[in-house]
Amino acid sequence: MIIKAILFDINGTLIDINTDEANEEIYRGISHILTYQGIFMHRWEVRDEYYRIMDIQLKSSQEKYPEFNVVELFREFLKRRFYALGSISSDKLEWLPLFLAEAYRGISRNRLQLYPGVLDVLTDLHHRYKLAAISDAQSAWCLPEMRAVGIDGYFNPIIVSGDFGYRKPDPRLFMAALTALSVAPENILFVGNDMFRDVYGARQLGIKTVFFSSNQGRKQAEGVKPDYIIYQFPEMRQAVDFFERQ
Q: What is the tens place of the pLDDT at every residue in 100-139?
A: 999 999 999 999 999 999 999 999 999 999 999 999 999 9
**Residue 20, SS3?**
coil
Yes or no: say if 131 and 6 are a contact pair by the CB < 8 Å rule: yes
pLDDT in tens, 21-64: 999 999 999 999 998 888 889 999 999 999 999 999 999 999 99
User: What pLDDT sits at residue 88?
Assistant: 65
Q: Confidence band (pLDDT; 50, 70, 90) for 87?
A: low
171-215, pLDDT tens digit by residue?
999 999 999 999 999 999 999 999 999 999 999 999 999 999 999
What backbone torsions phi and psi does residue 203 show, to the nearest 5 degrees?
A: -70, -20
Integer-rounded Cα Rg, in Å, for the chain is 20
Q: Is the pLDDT reported for residue 72 higher than 60?
A: yes
Position 198, amino acid: D
**Position with higher pLDDT, 221 vs 115:** 115
Each residue's pLDDT tens digit, 133-166: 999 999 999 999 999 999 999 999 999 999 999 9
Q: What is the pLDDT of residue 80?
A: 84
Contact status, residue 27 vs residue 47, Cβ threshold 8 Å = yes
Name the band, by pLDDT with cuts 50, 70 and 90, for residue 83.
Answer: low
Within 10 Å of residue 80's Cβ, how many Cβ atoms? 13
Q: Is the pLDDT of residue 89 over 80?
A: no
Residue 49: other Cβ atoms inside 10 A:
18
Average pLDDT over residues 57-86: 88
